[in-house]
Structure 1
Amino acid sequence: MYKPNMFDSHQHLLDTPSSTQKSQETEMDFLREEELESKSGTDIMEGQHSGDDQDPNQRPTKKKRYHRHTQHQIQEMEAFFKECPHPDDKQRKELGRRLELAPLQVKFWFQNKRTQMKAQHERCENTHLRNENDKLRAENIRYKEALTNASCPHCGGPAAIGEMSFDEQQLRVENTRLREEIDRISGIAAKYVGKPMLNFPPHLPPPEAPRSLDLAFGPQSGLLDEMYNVGDIFRTAIRGLTDGEKPMVIELAVSAMEELTRMAQTDEPMWITNSENSIVTLCEEEYARTFPRGITGPKPLTLNSEASRASSVVIMNPINLVEILMDANQWTSVFAGLVSRGMTVEVLSTGVAGNYNGALQVMTAEFQVPSPLVPIRENFFLRYCKQHDDGTWAVVDVSLDSLRPSPVPPCRRRPSGCLIKELPNGYSQVTWVEHVEADEKAVHDMYKPLVSSGLAFGAKRWVATLERQCERLASAMANNIQTGDVGIFTSPAGRKSMLKLAERMVRSFCAGVGTSTTHTWTTLSGSGADDVRVMTRKSIDDPGRPPGIVLSAATSFWIPVSPKRVFDFLRDENSRSEWDILSNGGVIQEMAHIANGRDPGNCVSLLRVNSGNSHQSNMLILQESSTDPTGSYVIYAPVDIVAMNVVLSGGDPDYVALLPSGFAILPDGSTNHHGGSGSSSDVGSVGGSLLTVAFQILVDSVPTAKLSLGSVATVNSLIKCTVDRIKSAVTPESA
């Protein structure tokens, strides 16, 4: 027997005159899946005739006869069915004439064939939906059982209502929404499975009387909703974690996402705008009222709280931005001035549907200020990505130090990250929230105003860096940008290779100028802020560095000159001879110029030193300068002419040896802007500057050689002489 819904779907076969009533009685006989039979034309005519002559109350006693199609007829109609499953009257008559069948027989065969195909499709669909239904039920049960063993991260006891991040009213609303979502999907599945599903798993309590475990699940911004709508977002999220940590990590990730979203979308009184520098900072009292039980616990007394928010429009679509943020290598490269090292420790979930929606990973990173006077901030954190219902993407970080009992870390991240909203023409609106607690006692006094102002590690620096880097990436991908009317004209492939080489140069400089745990600085002198820090590295098998012993030297100092003036002076090739001792007073000529954004200071240049010294007459210098309201860089490196010709012709730049040197220019963080308007554009044009000078010099081409004191003294003298020249050139005489 066939299912009623299959028969009902062909009710149009019954909407014929009364003479076809017997066809209704015989149609179920026609619906044989393997034997495709139909009534002969003679029987049909006899049935119509007998129906007119006999008493309508008397059933015919004549046994019905059936016509079985030949193999040839079936093969022909099968072949025609593949091309046209719904033949018209003309096609049925032509096919019947060719196969010696009545048109009505052909019509019935095609009806039966279509019914058979639909039945097979529905059976397959029903099986698939039943499997999906069973999978959803099992998944729900598994997560509920995991939550049954949930424990408090602080005391180890069972989770209680009072320890959750949201009040009971919000949880009830959330549970009601989840119930409606499950009912909706159950209704869809029941349509095909043929029987109704339970509206809600029987072991889940009603929303009017939620249990503590349900409350632990409720505030996770729809974790059940994600299970049912998105699929197995957290299917692999528990790999590598203990049973007790599984629900805690899931709750931490989604609760952090909820907190970040609320902080990014809430204005006053949560956030306060500083009228002097336009930096938006957090009102701690309002935050404590809104989130009375912070998901990372109370702030330790030894740590200072830093929280800021900033927003900007960047030239990149949300999908590409999310890809950068979720890929540790791309993230470290784009934010090289902020992240000295970044690594993905474990990928707990890669997301679903071919994107990062639901991606969850454990990461470690070192956040830095480009100066050896500011300690790095090392974090071990969870990064979670989600696309909200309105299409907005969000990426949140939160420290994992609260997961296990441990000493108070010197820095931890409360929910921090960004919301990314799509705009027309490939642009995105990015709202960034940076909320950390850090020990600032080791920060040099000269840099404390910058750190406390939020310009060192705050949201404004993240957004400004992202905006500048998006312009740089857009320039690198463009094919119609000229290199300018200077000397060398590079092809599109050569321009991209040159930009790639400059990108590696910048990353190398930024990674080496801070206080990363990968290397240790040694102080050469004790003259206060002008201390020169040095370290040595041995380069053996790195094709991007010349082999031998490399000596790095850096120093940071304050000058009463605006960052913009210092930046313009250092990047100008016409004034280079005033500070660059190695140029030996030679004339600097710009051979190639590639713009990297709207600001003319953002560019990559290839310089030639025309000097009377035969060793320097053919020397080339690759230089990249970049600036934004929170800081500026001028980074350069001598390059071999032969290797550079390969790059300009579009060759691989990874094998060009570089030892980058340069300058990092930051505002001093002072609130006294000497009459500045205080807008974001004025941050880099007024006030004093914190200037870091860093050199890398190959002191011996033999990696096994010993570093001599003479080499150290030479580098120390070189960097001090450079500092003195810069101060005398840019500092007003009255200062």
Structure 2
Amino acid sequence: MPAGIMIPATHMPSMMGRNGNVAAYGSSSGLSLGQPNMMDGQLHPLDMTQNTSESEIARLREDDFDSKSGSENHEGASGDDQDPNQRPKKKRYHRHTQHQIQEMEAFFKECPHPDDKQRKELSRELGLEPLQVKFWFQNKRTQMKTQHERHENTQLRSENEKLRTENLRYREALSNASCPNCGGPTAIGEMSFDEHHLRLENARLREEIDRISAIAAKYVGKPVVNYPLIPQVPTRPLDLGVGNFGAQPGLGGELFGASDLLRSINGPTEADKPMIIELAVAAMEELFRMAQMGEPLWLPSLDGTTTELSEDEYIRSFPRGIGPKPPGFKCEASRETAVVIMNHISLVEILMDVNQWSTVFSGIVSRAMTLEVLSTGVAGNYNGAFQVMTAEFQVPSPLVPTRESYFVRYCKQHADGTWAVVDVSLDNLRPSPVVRCRRRPSGCLIQEMPNGYSKVTWVEHVEVDDRGVHNIYKQLVNSGLAFGAKRWVATLDRQCERLASAMATNIPTGEVGVITSQEGRKSMLKLAERMVISFCAGVSASTAHTWTTLSGSGADDVRVMTRKSVDDPGRPPGIVLSAATSFWLPVPPKRVFDFLRDENSRSEWDILSNGGVVQEMAHIANGQDTGNCVSLLRSANSSQSNMLILQESCTDSTASFVIYAPVDVVAMNMVLNGGDPDYVALLPSGFAILPDGTTAHGGVIGEVGSGGSLLTVAFQILVDSVPTAKLSLGSVATVNNLIACTVDRIKAAVSCENA
């Protein structure tokens, strides 16, 4: 959504600034209702060579390869020209000239896999046959591969020899060990500092294992005490002097700087820690069995596409745990398996680092923090690590309440090399709020696979009071696509592809535009990542802020919320008004996603673009699906020369997002030059597209892509650059009109496509 565009009065009759001026996108970092902030500056697109590559598999003949130079060809007389009574002539070699070799060497450095056109052009320039050029490049690639393998073998031999020498030294030290007091033989003996350090570490680990085993033996089998629940204290909205909108409550729920419910929860007491460790050990055993057992614990669904947990069999199989299901709670249990492009060690690090975990799963985890680390695990990895955590799980819509959970996370490496990370609720130990969601043992098993891949088996098992879910989202929540294992695994798979793209050492073929360096590419991806996190955290019904419903807007329940930003380099200072609405569309999610992410159809829903053409200036692919990408857009409208649009679109089998934010040209130039993107102010807006949980035939849960869509539309608008300013009725009416017009346009456009 570009900035600096004047909004036509026919569309926005009430968009008035503080001085009576009508404007939009005036801020360098988002929508604005104040004066336009026109900044000088112009992005200079740089020509970018598009590399081409060819995948070719050729069997090289022995007589076409010279192991010394890789640049010789040879030939012999044909069978028709040879005398059968004579011995075969020795093959005659034709050595390439030094000039030909230098030219092909230089080209090889730029492009080791030339296509047919490039080979023909080289052959003309060098006076060679195209087949000679082809064989030279084949031979050169084989030679480089051989040299690389030889170098790796040398390194491995050296490392192996070093380990063998060290092993012999340790064996000799152990065999010659003697008692320092009497001089006689002993099992320990005098040892080096390294050996002494290792033995001390082993003794410490043995004590840790013995201690945990003693705790488990003491507590396992005993029922967990149910502590009395204390009624939840309602949060008091922040009074910004908004005034009374008829029968509506005053706007409140400041997000930036609000009192954080998660931070108000204290860590466990010393008396609680033994029971927490015992509970985590039992939960790990339960997770391992839940991930591997079949029938009768897991039964096939009616359509045969998924499995469902038998609650009766679960109670028989796992009598211990966190106690019976509370009255009024509903059980949600699911299991999903996938192979992802990330090694098992990196996956464990992501899951055990709360910042990485909440970033990778930003569409599911709105907020998370570690309250206390009970154990860091074995030195060098997370085997045996215990963390007490709290988190808030979300669906990107203000119509679905978030699920707050207080739990312990335990990581363990099993004997077969499989890693497991399990969560289990500690809500019975909480000092205050009423429990609305309990996590029974949930988590994942991670198995190492070749070539840096991992097999992930995810189990999600919760008991929840979901009576606050809006009717249009109930089918989605009941299907398990909202909070279940399928959504966790699909998100992880997509994010692993994104991380692989971000760590690429070269700019892949097909990425075009103004990105000319690897540093600029990484900075742009980092800025887009922060934009997505900010959007997801601000669109859900979190306990950190309160939405106010506006009626009579033409859309289904427009929710608005004020936010105050002070001294935050990632957001513009002042009062921000957020508006969001969610509604159902009788169109499959993929069709809605393709329509919203396409820059060619942007003018059909973006009322602030004035029907102008939007041009893609840069494109970064983030996975195999063409819909997963980051784009830099520019409006053809001349009044938008000082603003660009950063957009990220992402999709998987359970959710899709199209998120964008206006960015100042000067700031974007800094990012493209590899500058720090953390100081670029953003106010992201966009769309979250979810399946409605039904097939086109209705009533039966089916594959995503059939049935209808649940679309959330959200805007963030800077209404005043002064954080202490009062919010006016005109600003609220303007935002209400903006979101209503956008919804109407989207409904009309997709309905025409669906007709």
TM superposition score normalised by structure 2: 0.66
Partner residue, 1:250: 277
Could you tell me how far apart the structure 1 residues matched to 2:207 and 2:588 are?
Answer: 64
2:289 counterpart letter in structure 1? R
Partner residue, 2:749: 729
The count of aligned residue pairs is 537
Q: Are 1:576 and 2:607 matched, yes or no?
A: no
The offset of 1:562, in angstroms, is 0.3
- Decide whether the 8 Å contact of 2:287 with 2:422 is kept in 1: yes
**1:618-653 CA distances to partner (integer Å, 9 max, x unpaired)?**
420000000001010000000010010011111110
1:438-449 alignment runs, 5 A limit:
438-449=464-475
Q: 1:551 aligns with which of 562, 577, 583?
A: 577
Rg larger for = 1
The offset of 1:281, in angstroms, is 2.4
- Decide whether the 8 Å contact of 1:300 with 1:408 is kept in 2: no
Partner residue, 1:42: none
The offset of 1:480, in angstroms, is 2.2
- Decide whether the 8 Å contact of 1:475 with 1:481 is kept in 2: no
Could you tell me how far apart the structure 2 residues matched to 1:733 and 1:621 are?
Answer: 26
Distance 1:132 1:519, change over 3 A: closer
Which structure has more relative contact order (CA 8 Å, sep 6+)? It is 2
Q: Are 1:520 and 2:546 matched, yes or no?
A: yes
1:100-179 alignment runs, 5 A limit:
123-125=189-191, 152=222, 154=224
Could you tell me how far apart the structure 1 residues matched to 2:511 and 2:203 are?
Answer: 68
- My pick for the range that moved more, 453-462 or 118-127, is 118-127
Partner residue, 2:683: 659
- Decide whether the 8 Å contact of 1:551 with 1:697 is kept in 2: yes
- Decide whether the 8 Å contact of 1:631 with 1:664 is kept in 2: yes
Alignment partner of 2:427: what SS?
coil
Q: 1:370 aligns with which of 366, 374, 396?
A: 396
2:668 counterpart letter in structure 1? M
Partner residue, 1:337: 363
Alignment partner of 2:669: what SS?
helix
Distance 1:543 1:144, change over 3 A: closer
2:706 counterpart letter in structure 1? V
Could you tell me how far apart the structure 2 residues matched to 1:523 and 1:463 are?
Answer: 34
Could you tell me how far apart the structure 1 residues matched to 2:616 and 2:532 are?
Answer: 19
1:253-402 alignment runs, 5 A limit:
253-274=280-301, 276=303, 278-291=305-318, 293-402=319-428
Partner residue, 2:645: 621
Partner residue, 2:498: 472
Could you tell me how far apart the structure 1 residues matched to 2:387 and 2:202 are?
Answer: 28
**1:658-705 CA distances to partner (integer Å, 9 max, x unpaired)?**
000000000001244579994xxx41x211000000000111112221
Partner residue, 1:433: 459
The offset of 1:123, in angstroms, is 2.6
Could you tell me how far apart the structure 1 residues matched to 2:529 and 2:749 are?
Answer: 29
- Decide whether the 8 Å contact of 1:153 with 1:402 is kept in 2: no
- Decide whether the 8 Å contact of 2:694 with 2:706 is kept in 1: no
- Decide whether the 8 Å contact of 1:280 with 1:310 is kept in 2: no
Partner residue, 1:632: 656
Could you tell me how far apart the structure 2 residues matched to 1:625 and 1:134 are?
Answer: 52
Structure 2 alignment gaps of length 5 or more = 1-175, 228-265
Q: 1:690 aligns with which of 710, 721, 739?
A: 710
- Decide whether the 8 Å contact of 1:360 with 1:383 is kept in 2: yes
TM superposition score normalised by structure 1: 0.68
1:402-441 alignment runs, 5 A limit:
402-403=428-429, 409-441=435-467
Could you tell me how far apart the structure 2 residues matched to 1:368 and 1:454 are?
Answer: 13
Partner residue, 1:25: none
Could you tell me how far apart the structure 2 residues matched to 1:633 and 1:552 are?
Answer: 18
Distance 1:618 1:280, change over 3 A: farther
Could you tell me how far apart the structure 2 residues matched to 1:676 and 1:287 are?
Answer: 25
- Decide whether the 8 Å contact of 1:397 with 1:414 is kept in 2: yes
Distance 1:566 1:251, change over 3 A: same
Distance 1:578 1:136, change over 3 A: closer
**1:214-260 CA distances to partner (integer Å, 9 max, x unpaired)?**
xxxxxxxxxxxxxxxxxxxxxxxxx9755643431121001000000
The offset of 1:120, in angstroms, is 11
Q: 1:453 aligns with which of 463, 467, 479?
A: 479
Distance 1:404 1:592, change over 3 A: closer
Could you tell me how far apart the structure 2 residues matched to 1:370 and 1:514 are?
Answer: 5
Alignment partner of 2:508: what SS?
coil
Alignment partner of 1:365: what SS?
strand
Could you tell me how far apart the structure 1 residues matched to 2:690 and 2:701 are?
Answer: 18
Distance 1:397 1:677, change over 3 A: closer
Could you tell me how far apart the structure 1 residues matched to 2:557 and 2:368 are?
Answer: 29
**1:132-186 CA distances to partner (integer Å, 9 max, x unpaired)?**
89868876886687679859555699xxxxxxxxxxxxxxxxxxxxxxxxxxxxx
Partner residue, 1:492: 518
- Give 1 or 2: higher helix fraction: 1
Partner residue, 1:718: 738
- Decide whether the 8 Å contact of 2:579 with 2:716 is kept in 1: yes
1:664 counterpart letter in structure 2? A
Q: 1:501 aligns with which of 527, 530, 542?
A: 527
Distance 1:118 1:369, change over 3 A: farther
1:691 counterpart letter in structure 2? L
Could you tell me how far apart the structure 2 residues matched to 1:504 and 1:156 are?
Answer: 41
The offset of 1:581, in angstroms, is 1.2
Q: CA RMSD in A?
A: 3.2
The offset of 1:288, in angstroms, is 1.9
Structure 1 alignment gaps of length 5 or more = 1-111, 158-238
Could you tell me how far apart the structure 2 residues matched to 1:547 and 1:455 are?
Answer: 37
**1:487-531 CA distances to partner (integer Å, 9 max, x unpaired)?**
313311110100000000000000000011221111111679711
Distance 1:726 1:143, change over 3 A: closer
1:718 counterpart letter in structure 2? L
The offset of 1:725, in angstroms, is 0.1
Distance 1:364 1:687, change over 3 A: same
Could you tell me how far apart the structure 1 residues matched to 2:285 and 2:210 are?
Answer: 24
The offset of 1:271, in angstroms, is 1.6
Alignment partner of 1:296: what SS?
coil
Could you tell me how far apart the structure 2 residues matched to 1:463 and 1:540 are?
Answer: 37
The offset of 1:548, in angstroms, is 1.3
**1:269-302 CA distances to partner (integer Å, 9 max, x unpaired)?**
22233354833321212212212x2401111121
